[in-house]
Structure 1
């Protein structure tokens, strides 16, 4: 009897453990997942805040450069008119003018009585490059606000500190921007403890709190650091209700979810099988979109793109390429693109040594030297130079930094230029551009679409262009659809472009005819008038 009771008790205990154990395990895993997601989301916010701070800094530098180039004597009517135009052109600039010997000399916004009579104390920071900074300068135009004043060569620009932290964030998480050389807090969002944010910046990755998550980033191009924080989340704070919910709906939900999962997996496996069949039987088509040199309108190369038509229906590359990545089919797909590209464009590449084709590679292709070895073997004896075969990688390919860095270096050492495709779309860390040596950045179409519009995202393309010029890499603008976009990009030093304004992606035969027609058109345009 005692043995039977013991056995029943053990069975009940085992049943309880079997029931409650997975629930508690799930709660623990959910809690850790929430923490991970919080950190990723907070890091993304820090990157966005860093980009915003860089944009403000670039506008300040550009405004001062314009002021230093203005004609006429300081404070002359012509000079003040040009200064007013600078204030209007740069939306982060609140005021601008001239100063000397501890006084404001003039500004389009100051009255005649104030000009030359308002004192200006010594700067709070003197840079080695001649820039002067006043961090908390009472604005002569307002009794309530203190601005940041930046001076150079007798000209000054005034900005509202809130410009640095004015981000759209529904969660209203605290943000701080710090001037690194002086260790001075430039700006904090409303309700933020400045001393805490400074302390977090000084401690860096060692900053910890039981109630808060922190993220600290540093601009790769400006002496600015950003600190953001958000409250720690917890999935287990209401665990009794969660436990009751699991016990009540576990069986029903498990049955429903199991059936849905079965249906989804069945469809996915069916799609994967069809994709594998299409790759094995060379039913994936490769098309080519011209890449144009903006300076003279010449076609210098093409990008190889994949197309798949099944039963008369076009399957989006965004769909089947992602499925290929998730099901170990991306390497044979990339090999197929290389094989067809060399077979179809080989004569064109050999006849035009300066012409090139770029091929998109995946994270897997950058995780080892496999594709590089395949590429090297495929080019052997063809008469095609390595520089005529270029590789394009997306930003997420750089997540495994150590391995990717070595493979990219190997591609470049073998003579294959490396491009970063869709640059800027993921708000990933810009600092990798200093540790990865690449040749070209491709500006994503979403940013090109806004360059001639008055849209919030229209400031991103100029930021990318300025960064590329500073880092010494070339640029290709994707998705150019109008002459106005092409002219805007050319005027700002973008070297190359591709898009429907020039030509859609086409087959190899269509490309050959298009190139011939394009050359004849260029020859006619450049022919002298009789």
Structure 2
């Protein structure tokens, strides 16, 4: 009897151990995964904060350039009236004026103050390109307010420091903007401690803290950096309670969880195999979404979009493309899209030499000539011009600049224009355009959605458009769904649009019918 009880006790103990160990292991793994996700999310916030600092600084520089172009002498009524326009045109500029001889001369807010002899202290820092910066300059109109002032050639602008850290963040995580050459805090969001954030910057975010995560990011174009932090959270804070709970649940719950986990893991493991099977059997479809000229509504080309119908259920491209990238299937998938695109559009492309199709290419194929060689061989003997096959790459594909720069140049030398897809959502928006030669920017739908709306991100679209014009590249606006967006884009010189307002993605036979109907509506009437 005692032996039997011992055997039962041992079985129960082993069952409990078999139940608890996987659970605690899973909790530990989940805790590690949650920590990684929090750190990734924090790094994304830091990248967005850097873009904000670049944008605010860009506005200050643009405002000063406009001031330098104002005719006539400083402080005349006409001069001050023109400076008032500058303040109105630039969202982050609070005041604009003239200075000289270590004194304020005039501004729209102060008026002509030359007779008051309001002194300006020496600048806090001078940039290599001739800009003077006062980090914490007391505003003559206030006893308490301190602005960031940026000046050059006798013209200055005042910027509210909070503009550098004014991001939409529901978690309200502390943010600091820093001049990296002087290690000076430019701005702090609410709840941020200057000494703490500056120390985190000097340690590159590697702060030994049990309460906070830190992340840093640096601008590639200006001596600006940001530090952000968020509170740590842990799934293992109450590990004793978790242990007691699972001891009481026992082997039955462990078996049930094991069965559910087995089903889930089996489903996940089989998905890449199913995708590989679909690619090898050419069961992946290609749809085409028109790209139209915003000025006359004519369709100039299409984007090839991949679609997958698995047993009557459409799988989101965001899901299976990510699986393809993680399981070394993205190159066979891209090759299949190319094959089907040429097979289905070759007649249309030959009949309309100015018509084109753009194909999305992964970052993996931007590091070597593999896909370029496949594309060149596939076009041989088809009569399709290289310029009719255009290459789309997302911003993150450009992050490894050294590996991709030569491949991008090779595509363009072969006659294939390069598009940057989803522009504005990556980390290097304002920097890599200086090191890469591209042909077209595609503004991400998230920014087009904010047009004519009072949203914090609505300021991004006009600056991307202005940047593209300065670089001499064409623009495609993605996700156009309303006429008011078209009017806004046309007024700002955006050439092309893509979205449901014009047409959804469609099969090739539907595309040809749609093109025929669209061309008939564009024909002049007698």
TM-score between the two structures when normalised by the length of structure 2: 0.81
Which secondary structure does the structure 2 equivalent of 1:122 belong to? coil
How does 1:31-430 map onto structure 2 within 5 Å?
A: 31-110=31-110, 116-204=116-204, 208-209=208-209, 211-249=211-249, 251=251, 253-254=253-254, 257=257, 285-293=285-293, 299-306=299-306, 333-362=333-362, 371-395=371-395, 411-412=411-412, 414-425=414-425
The aligned counterpart of 2:454 is 454
Residues 124 and 494 from structure 1, CA distance in 2 versus in 1: closer, same or farther, beyond 3 angstroms?
Answer: same
Partner of 1:29: 29
Distance apart, 1:216 and its partner CA: 1.4
Distance across 2 between alignment mates of 1:201 and 1:189: 15
Write the distance in 2 (CA, Å) between the matches of 1:328 and 1:127: 46
Aligned partners of 2:309 and 2:285: how far apart in 1? 8
Moved more, 423-432 or 345-354: 423-432
Q: For residues 225 and 170 of structure 1, do their structure 2 counterparts lie closer, same or farther at Cα, with a shift above 3 Å needed?
A: same
Residue aligned with 1:416, SS: coil
Point out where structure 1 has 5 or more consecutive residues left out of the alignment: none
The 3-state SS of whatever aligns with 2:47 is helix
CA contact (8 A) 2:468 2:475 kept: yes
Aligned residue for 1:233, secondary structure, equals: coil
Change (3 A) 1:101 1:21: same
Equivalent residues, number: 526
Q: Give deviations 1:408-454, integer Å, cap 9, x for gaps.
A: 56655654333332223466786666676654331112211223333
Q: Is 1:106–1:116's contact at 8 Å kept on the other side of the alignment?
A: no
CA-to-partner distance for each residue in 1:269-303, whole Å, 9 max, x for gaps? Answer: 99999988876776665443333455776644221
Change (3 A) 1:5 1:472: farther
Deviations 1:331-364 (A, max 9, x none): 5554443233212321333344443211234567
2:18/2:251 contact within 8 Å kept? no
The corresponding residue for 2:444 is 444
CA distance in 2, matches of 1:250, 1:53: 55
The 1-side partners of 2:471 and 2:218 are apart by: 17
458-467 vs 481-490, which moves further: 481-490
Q: By how many angstroms is 1:217 displaced?
A: 0.8
Q: Larger deviation: 246-255 or 454-463?
A: 246-255
| Secondary structure in structure 1 of the residue aligned to 2:342 | helix
For the 8 Å contact 1:106–1:115, the answer to whether it is kept is no
Partners of 2:372 and 2:411 within 8 A in 1:
yes
Distance 1:22 1:404, change over 3 A: farther
1-structure distance, mates of 2:278, 2:34: 40
1:137: Cα distance to partner?
1.1
Structure 2 vs 1, CA of residues 265 and 405 (structure 1 numbering), >3 Å: closer, same or farther? farther
Give yes or no for the alignment of 1:476 onto 2:476. yes
Q: Distance in 2 between matches of 1:26 and 1:264?
A: 14
**TM-score under structure 1 length normalisation:** 0.80
RMSD value, Cα: 4.5
CA positional deviation for 1:458: 0.8
- Once residues 12 and 284 of structure 1 are traced to their aligned partners in structure 2, the CA distance between those partners, rounded to angstroms, is 51
Would the aligned equivalents of 2:292 and 2:496 in 1 still touch at CA under 8 Å? yes
Name the SS of the counterpart of 1:121 in structure 2: coil
Q: Aligned partners of 2:221 and 2:520: how far apart in 1?
A: 44
Q: What's the offset of the Cα at 1:186?
A: 1.0
Give SS of 1:243's match.
helix
Q: Is the 8 A contact 1:47 1:429 kept in 2?
A: no
Distance 1:391 1:80, change over 3 A: same
Q: Secondary structure at the match of 1:204?
A: coil
Shift of 1:502: 4.5
Shift, 1:261, TM fit: 5.9
- Secondary structure of 2:204's counterpart equals helix
For the residue of structure 1 that corresponds to 2:157, the secondary structure is strand
Cα displacement string for residues 35-92 of structure 1 (whole angstroms, at most 9, x for unaligned residues): 3122112101101211221221122122223323334543333333332233233332
Counterpart-to-counterpart distance in 1, 2:267 and 2:27? 30
